[in-house]
Structure 1
Amino acid sequence: MAGIGISAQSSTLVINNHSAYDAAGRFMTTGSASPGSTQPYMYALPNAPYSTYTIPAGGHTKYDKFDNTGGSNPIPIPGWYYIDPLNSANTASYPYNHPIITAVTAVDEWMGFAFVLTDSTGYSYDSFEVGDPALSGGFLHASQSGPNTGSSADWFTISTPAGTITYFQIF
C-alpha cells in the first residue's frame, strides 16, 4: 500500500444542501478504474447525531481527501467502511485518518450518494441516487428531481487550473 500513496485522488468534493430537508443515505467511493474492478471501495460511516451519513438541511462542506473528512469538518465523516475485494482481511470500518484510508486516496474517487430527503421528524419524502455513471452502473443519473418536494440533486465535475472539483448539490 505504500506505493499507492504516492499519487492523489483526482478531485475535491464540494457539497451544498440548499434545501430545507436533511439528505440521509449511503455516500460512496469506488476505484477510479472501470466499474467492476477489483479496487477497494468505501461507504461513509454515520455522522453524529445521525444514524446514517447525513447532510443536514442548509449544510455545506468540502472534502479534499478521504483521510481529512473528520475532525473539525462542518459535516464530518468520522470513518469509512472499507471493502477490499482482493483481501477480505482488510474489509472493516476505519477512522477517517487511518493509514489504509490514506493509501486508498490514490485509487478511489467520489462515486455517488443514494439518499432520501427527510424532515426534522425523520419522515422521508423523496429518494435519489445521483453520482458519476462512469464509475458505477448503479448511478444512472447525475441529476434527479424529487416529485414530492420539488427538490433536485445534481452531481457534476469541472476542471479548473487548480485541479478537478466534483460538486454535489441539492436545491
Structure 2
Amino acid sequence: MKKVSIILGIMAGIGISAQSSTLVINNYSGYDAAGRFMTVGSAGSGSSQPLMYALPNAPYSTYTIPAGGYTKYDKFDNTGGSNPIPIPGWWYIDPLNSANNGNYPYNHPIITAVTPVDEWMGFAFSLTDSTGYSYDTFEVGDPVLSGGFLSSSQTGPNTGSSADWFTITTPGGLVTYFQIY
C-alpha cells in the first residue's frame, strides 16, 4: 500500500507541474498572421496569475505565423531555438510583483517557473500580405480563459479565411490547435 501511495503522489506531482496542453499551429492560408499571441493563468486561477505575450519573431516586427507556416510548442520555455516558428522570448506581466515585469528569453528561469500555471490563451491578429497590407482582423482563443476572446472560431469578411482555436484529448494528453484556412 505504501508503494501505491508513493507512486500516486509522484503521478499527482507530475500532473500538477505540467502545462496542460501542447499547442499546434497550422496556417493553411496564403496570408501571414501577425499580432499578439498570449498566455494566461489557468481557468479559475484568478487575476493573480502571470500573463505573457510572445515577442516578435525575426524577420517580423510582431509575432507572425507566415503563410503556410506550421509549428508545435510543448512548453513556453522551449519555444525558441530550432523551432520552425520560434518565439525568442516573452513579455512577462506579474500581477503580484511588478518588479518582475519585462522581456525574458524563452528559456529564462522565470518562464520555466510559469509553465505549470499558464495556458495558451489566444491570438489577436491580422491577415496580411507580403507588403504588410492588412485584410482581416481576428481575435480567437479560449473564451474560458479570457472574456476578451468571445469566440474560438471566426471568418474574415474580406478574405473568407477562417481561424479556429480548439482543444482535443488524446492518449498523450490535451492538444490545443490553432488553425487558419
Asked whether the two chains share a fold, i.e. TM above 0.5, the reply is yes
- Residue 36 of structure 1, CA deviation: 4.8
**Corresponding residue SS for 2:49:** coil
In 2: Cα distance, 1:101 partner to 1:124 partner: 32
Q: 1:40 matched to which residue of 2? A: 50
Contact 1:35–1:134 (CA under 8 A) maintained in structure 2: no
In 1: Cα distance, 2:169 partner to 2:32 partner: 29
User: Hey, which bits of structure 1, 4+ residues long, moved more than 4 A?
Assistant: none
Kindly name which structure, 1 or 2, has the bigger radius of gyration based on alpha carbons.
2
Structure number with the higher helix fraction is: 2
**Any stretches of 5+ residues in structure 1 without a counterpart?**
none
What is the aligned-residue identity percentage? Answer: 86
Q: 1:120 matched to which residue of 2? A: 130
TM-score normalised by the chain length of structure 1 = 0.95
1:25 aligns with 2:35: yes
Q: 2:139 matched to which residue of 1? A: 129
**Any stretches of 5+ residues in structure 2 without a counterpart?**
1-12
* 1:93-129 deviation line (CA, Å, top 9, x unaligned): 0000000000000000000000000000000000000
CA RMSD in angstroms comes to 1.2
**Corresponding residue SS for 1:117:** strand
* 1:34-75 deviation line (CA, Å, top 9, x unaligned): 375210010000000000000000000000000000000000
TM-score normalised by the chain length of structure 2 = 0.90
Q: 1:125 to 1:36 in 2, by over 3 A?
A: farther
1:105 aligns with 2:115: yes
Q: 1:8 matched to which residue of 2? A: 18
- Residue 130 of structure 1, CA deviation: 0.1
Contact 2:43–2:144 (CA under 8 A) maintained in structure 1: no
Q: 1:58 to 1:34 in 2, by over 3 A?
A: same
State the aligned residue count: 167
Contact 2:153–2:165 (CA under 8 A) maintained in structure 1: yes
In 2: Cα distance, 1:51 partner to 1:34 partner: 33
**Corresponding residue SS for 1:103:** helix
Q: 2:163 matched to which residue of 1? A: 153
Report 1:74-89 matches (<5 A).
74-89=84-99
